[in-house]
């Protein structure tokens, strides 16, 4: 079994092995190139994005700078928007659904370490996957810890530390992050009415 296979399976592995060091160096060089591109270099950004990440959906926007560990273990769904300064520490898999939004400085940490100091000091580590459902919004400066699954259509408040699974269709916030209430039909009706008013007003302005 290769060191990469150990890493992706959540087993202890050594990140200093040549196989992983070479992959990390290659991907970080791509990351540095991506972060130096201007907003006008759209085609170049799209091309590098598909090399940086394991899979990339349609209409994906990632504001630079972005920071990755390997990138290849991260899959991005359609219509993903990632604001500035986000971190993808993807020693394990990160799966992001469709229509997901990240505020600035969102951190996804799949990497973790043995509780025994001796094992840690000998350079062994491991990772646990992160999964984020479709339609979810992660507020700025939130941190998602190893092994966490966040459901679909959920809102994570800014600055949250998410150390446990969060279900679908809720608002959750805090350190540690906790569900504060479900998203309801009243929420949906309120925002859809504001949307309808917006489009009505826009149509009137164009006449």
Which residues form the catalytic set? 113
Rounded Cα–Cα distance for residues 137 and 191 (Å): 15
How do beta strands 137-138 and 101-102 pair?
parallel
Rounded Cα–Cα distance for residues 195 and 174 (Å): 29
Q: Which of 104, 87, 105, 98 is nearest to 132 (CA)?
A: 98
Query: From residue 204, how far is each of 190, 196, 198 by CA, in Å?
Result: 21, 12, 10
Cα 96 from chain centroid (whole Å): 6
What the block records as the tokens of 160 is 């949250």
């Amino acid at each position: 079994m290769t060191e990469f296979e150990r890493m992706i399976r959540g087993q202890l592995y050594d990140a200093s092995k040549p196989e992983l060091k070479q992959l990390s160096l290659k991907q970080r060089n791509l990351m540095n190139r991506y972060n130096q591109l201007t907003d006008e270099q759209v085609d170049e950004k799209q091309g590098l994005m598909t090399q940086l990440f394991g899979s990339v959906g349609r209409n994906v926007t990632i504001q630079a700078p972005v920071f990755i560990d390997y990138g290849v273990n991260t899959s991005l769904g359609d219509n993903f928007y990632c604001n500035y300064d986000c971190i993808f520490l993807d020693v394990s898999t990160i799966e992001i659904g469709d229509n997901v939004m990240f505020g600035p400085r969102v951190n996804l940490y799949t990497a973790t370490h043995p509780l025994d100091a001796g094992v840690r000091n000998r350079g062994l580590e491991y990772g646990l996957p992160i999964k984020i459902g479709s339609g979810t919004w992660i507020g700025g400066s939130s941190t998602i810890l190893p092994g966490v699954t966040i459901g679909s259509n959920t809102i994570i408040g800014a600055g949250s530390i998410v150390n446990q699974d969060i279900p679908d269709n809720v608002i959750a916030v805090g350190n540690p992050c906790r569900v504060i209430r479900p998203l309801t039909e009243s929420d949906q009706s309120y925002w859809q009415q504001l949307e309808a008013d917006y489009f009505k007003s826009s149509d009137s302005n164009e006449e």
